Amino acid sequence: MVPAMSKTCVVTGAAGFIGSHLVDRLLERGERVVGIDNMVLGKRENLAPALGSKRFVLHELDINEYPRLLECLRAEREAIGTVWHMAANSDIAAGVNNPEIDLTRTFMTTFNVLKAMHELKIPQLCFASTSAIYGDQDKVLTEETGPLFPISNYGAMKLGSEAVISAALERFLERAWMFRFPNVVGGRATHGAIFDFIRKLRKTPAELEVLGDGSQEKPYLHVSELIDAMLFLFDRAKDKLNFYNIAPDGTATTVRQIAEAVVKLVAPAAKIRYTGGSKGWIGDVPRFRYSIEKLKKAGWSPKMTSNEAVELAVRENASVL
């Protein structure tokens, strides 16, 4: 087995929103990073700082082209200690209309990553999981909440991914971290409400159409804090299976607040038109509340509220989109 403390790691979805920030932070920590992305949503420009580093290499390939995945990982001169599996479909609505999207991009990528890890004896996996695995529940969500019945194919394929990772731990995997993200915001966004609203307003500055009635309310976490929390847990949580909710502490933001923040900065004269209904789309969990007691007990607390994270992300994205 490859030593877990190996300084070479793999980041899948490296050119995406969260993956590219993670690559930057891993490079800052002195790691050698092998990035993988098929560029379906990822952008090379997200990796502009990383591409200047001798310790970074990018492979533009689809994880589901398994022989190519194996070949490029096998070609690595140093043993790989950890895979950070960030690649997935991030367009939940698209996956509701076409379930194949989440089967291939969300579940099969996890399945093939695990297959390659088994073949190459890579011992550790960090997985980008999600609040969507919990489904639509009234109670505050703790890591022990169940039974879990997701309402989107995306949530279902993420829950399936957690399940195959758990089974891999029994068979060959040495250690895994499952990080259950809330809504994550920040610069380099490739999707999401802030991204959509800015794009829409650039096209039609007089009006912003918002799906739903604006009352959907969720916790939003800034990507910088998400990565802080993941690295903190990676360094300190050393159970065989480590699973944590990560979120701002008890605060949340409505879609109406996001729309108003974007309008204020991008097109102050625009009228906001709500399409109506309590959900943005089929499969959308309109509101959820996360407990982060387990994370705080481990020693990490967020600094920003949900609204502060949203306001910062609106400024970061408005300057480039």
Ligand X SMILES: NC(=O)c1ccc[n+]([C@@H]2O[C@H](COP(=O)([O-])OP(=O)(O)OC[C@H]3O[C@@H](n4cnc5c(N)ncnc54)[C@H](O)[C@@H]3O)[C@@H](O)[C@H]2O)c1
Residue 87 binds to ligand X (criterion: CB under 6 A): yes
Smallest gap from Cβ 200 to ligand X, in A, equals 19
Measured from the CB atom, the residue of 12 and 317 that comes closer to ligand X is: 12
- Stretch 183-212 residues interacting with ligand X (CB under 6 A): 183-184, 190
Residue 216 binds to ligand X (criterion: CB under 6 A): no
Would you tell me how many other CB atoms lie within 10 Å of the CB of residue 239? 9
Among 9, 18, 168, 230, binds ligand X (CB under 6 A): 18
Residue 109 binds to ligand X (criterion: CB under 6 A): yes
- Stretch 24-53 residues interacting with ligand X (CB under 6 A): 36-42
Please give the Cα distance from 308 to 147 (Å, whole number).
33
Q: Are strands 217-218 and 253-254 parallel, antiparallel or unpaired?
A: antiparallel
Residue 88 binds to ligand X (criterion: CB under 6 A): yes
Classify the C-alpha dihedral 86-152-301-316 as positive or negative: positive
Residue 92 binds to ligand X (criterion: CB under 6 A): no
Q: Which stretch binds ligand X (CB under 6 A): 60-68, 115-123, 135-143, 300-308?
A: 60-68
Smallest gap from Cβ 3 to ligand X, in A, equals 26
Burial 93-105 (b: 16+ CB within 10 A, else e): ebbbeeeebbbbb
Residue 218 binds to ligand X (criterion: CB under 6 A): no
Residue 17 binds to ligand X (criterion: CB under 6 A): yes
Residue 63 binds to ligand X (criterion: CB under 6 A): yes
Smallest gap from Cβ 1 to ligand X, in A, equals 26
Measured from the CB atom, the residue of 109 and 242 that comes closer to ligand X is: 109
Measured from the CB atom, the residue of 42 and 160 that comes closer to ligand X is: 42
Residue nearest to ligand X (CB): 16
Please give the Cα distance from 113 to 116 (Å, whole number).
5
Smallest gap from Cβ 201 to ligand X, in A, equals 21
Measured from the CB atom, the residue of 13 and 280 that comes closer to ligand X is: 13
Residue 284 binds to ligand X (criterion: CB under 6 A): no
Size of residue set near ligand X by CB under 6 A: 29
Binding mask 140-179 for ligand X (x = CB under 6 A): ----------------------------------------
Measured from the CB atom, the residue of 179 and 300 that comes closer to ligand X is: 179
Among 110, 124, 130, 317, binds ligand X (CB under 6 A): 130
Q: Output the 3-class SS for the chain.
A: CCCCCCCEEEEECCCCHHHHHHHHHHHHCCCEEEEEECCCCCCHHHHHHHHCCCCEEEEECCCCCHHHHHHHHHCCCCCEEEEEECCCCCCHHHHHHCHHHHHHHHHHHHHHHHHHHHHHCCCEEEEEEEHHHHCCCCCCECCCCCCCCCCCHHHHHHHHHHHHHHHHHHHCCCEEEEEEECEEECCCCCCCHHHHHHHHHHHCCCEEEECECCCCEECEEEHHHHHHHHHHHHHHCCCCEEEEECCCCCCCEEHHHHHHHHHHHHCCCCEEEECECCCCCCCCCCECCECCHHHHHHCCCCCCCHHHHHHHHHHHHHCCC
Q: Which stretch binds ligand X (CB under 6 A): 17-25, 142-150, 286-294, 296-304?
A: 17-25
Residues found near ligand X in the complex (CB under 6 A)? 12-13, 15-19, 36-42, 62-64, 86-88, 90, 105, 109, 128, 130, 181, 183-184, 190
